[in-house]
Amino acid sequence: MRRDTAPGPAPAPTDVDLATADWRRMHPITPALRGWKTLAVVVAVGWYQLGDHLHDAEGLVQGGRWLIAVGAVAAIVLVASAYATLAWRVTRFAVTDDAVHLNTGVLFRQHRQARLDRLQAVDVVQPLLARLVGLAELKLDVAGGAGANVTLSYLRESDALALRAELLALAAGLRRPAAPAAAPEPAGVVPPAPAHAVVPGGAVSGSTTPGTAAAHPVRPAFEEAPEREVYEVPMPRLIGASLRSAGAVMIAVFLVVAVVVTVLSRDVGAAFAFLPALFGGVGAFWSRINQGASFRAAISPDGIRLRHGLTEARTQTVPPGRVQAIRLTQGLWWRGRDWWRVEMNVAGYGQGADVQRETVLHPVATRAEAMTALWLVLPDLGVGDPATVVDAALSGRDGDGGFTPAPRRARWVDPIGWRRRGVLVTDRALLTRSGRLRRQVEVVPHERTQSLGLQQGPIQRRLRLATFLVHSTPGPVRPSVWHLDEHAAAALLDEQAERARTARAVATPEQWMRAVSDGGS
């Protein structure tokens, strides 16, 4: 059984005359930053081939044919650089009040459009090489799948930050100030500058720009909105949590196995069979450190701002109301320290190679910080004592905190974790909990419910049990409650569908600043 609750598609933005738009190019160093990958691939392939044919390599050096090889490599790099330069010249982007437009392609031209009313997040990413030369790429995550996202690389870091502020302002419903039709001034007379008072959040008071509706505040030059830091992850805690992770355990296990096998077989070569698994564990361990280093979270009128990364610095801005669901998890190795990992679903973040990096709201949080991360997404949980409810969700069982638990007969299909399974519906959100060894809590605001469903297998039917499913946007959070009483699950389906419809009717519109200005006008 499945019940859809998602709203219909938003209307298309007003058409604009792109011929008069301000088209811009990427930074001129962009071809060089992209071309080094071609050189690295050519060198890696050549090195691999020489390693497999050492005798041929020796003859190549002695016979002077190495000049031909160097010339071939230089020709490949030259052709790749020429193509990258040509691609840079034909790549342009423009920002209008409704969308970001990107033209690309040398042989096959492509025009892409990222609608600002569907903008989910804006990221400023600085890979190591780009950071060394002061450049960054701007990633626009748009609802509609990975194909709808737009990446602008590379821009000067200051230009990327300014463009991010502009896009967030336009997505919030603000508009550019129209150029006033000033009367001709006598020669030698300098017109007085208008007096603008900038208030927190970037709105302008004390003047009205001609040609701009009074209902829409404007930011002069779209300056970046102020922010307030909420939490920061200490590096010692990140390293300690990484040492208690599955990657670190994998490294230790394979090291012990490799040593034992080497001693028993008296052959050092036998240990090399474990190298791929060992490298996998080292990669997972390093990824945790690299992605979680310098992790900070702040709140601003533009939304949640996250900064993190060691070799690749990343600044994420998630506008208000864009987080679709949130999950708090605690592995067995983190139980003693009471650490939690907080992840989120954001439309546009759910696909691609950077999912694990983009969807983290807190890599390793104390219980208090985990609650703070939850309040960033959902400040009002809709209960009188939210701290007690969250505590019951994190470590409670059975009916603690008012949760509807799995019935006792669920122990036949889930003998270990059935007492941890439960669901709670508040005025603002649906909370689920599960996991005896690996604890897990999922929270879905009512207005972000995409669809609902019930699932019942043959054994569950025999035991009069059912699984309640909440369908969210693609991402790490997949809310569900297994092995509820079938009648309780059916009642929950109807109740949650009604709550989702009611919550969307009073939810803040996508252009959050426009709603504020309209309400005060």
Give me 509's structure tokens.
Answer: 């519109």
pLDDT for the residue 463: 95
Confidence of residue 193 (pLDDT cuts 50, 70, 90): very low
Same domain assignment for residues 381 and 521: yes
Same domain assignment for residues 314 and 414: no
The mean pLDDT value for 152-166 works out to: 90
Q: Which residues pair with 15 in a beta bridge?
A: none
Choice among 131-145, 294-308, 354-368, 500-514 with the minimum mean pLDDT: 500-514
The per-residue pLDDT for range 6-26, each reduced to its tens digit, is: 444 444 444 446 777 788 888
**Which amino acid appears at position 235 of this protein?**
M
- Segment (H or E) for 316: strand 313-318
Interacting residues of 365 by C-beta distance below 8 A, sequence separation 6+: 231, 233, 339, 340, 341, 342, 372, 373
* Domain C-terminal end among 303, 319, 335: 319
Nearest to 437 by CA among 331, 329, 340, 327: 331
Q: How far apart are CA 47 and CA 264, in angstroms?
A: 35
Nearest to 373 by CA among 385, 359, 383: 359
Q: How far apart are CA 45 and CA 48, in angstroms?
A: 5
Q: 138 is in which domain, residue-wise?
A: 97-177+214-233+295-319
Same domain assignment for residues 305 and 158: yes
Q: Which residues pair with 300 in a beta bridge?
A: 303
Give me 490's structure tokens.
Answer: 């059916």
The mean pLDDT value for 176-191 works out to: 50
HSE (CB half, 13 Å, CA atoms) of 294? Answer: 10
Instruction: Report how far apart, in Å, the C-alpha atoms of 232 and of each of 3, 360, 363 are.
Output: 40, 13, 10
Q: How far apart are CA 521 and CA 193, in angstroms?
A: 26
Residue 272 in any domain: the answer is no
Residue 344 in any domain: the answer is no
The per-residue pLDDT for range 261-320, each reduced to its tens digit, is: 777 877 776 667 777 777 777 777 888 898 899 999 999 888 899 999 998 899 999 887
Tell me the DSSP string of 106-158.
SSS-EEEEEEGGGEEEEEEEE-HHHHHTTEEEEEEEESS-GGG-EEEEEEEHH
Q: Residue 428 maps to which CATH number?
A: 2.30.29
Q: In what order do the strands lie in the sheet with 92-95?
A: 92-95, 99-104, 110-115
Number of domains in the chain: 3
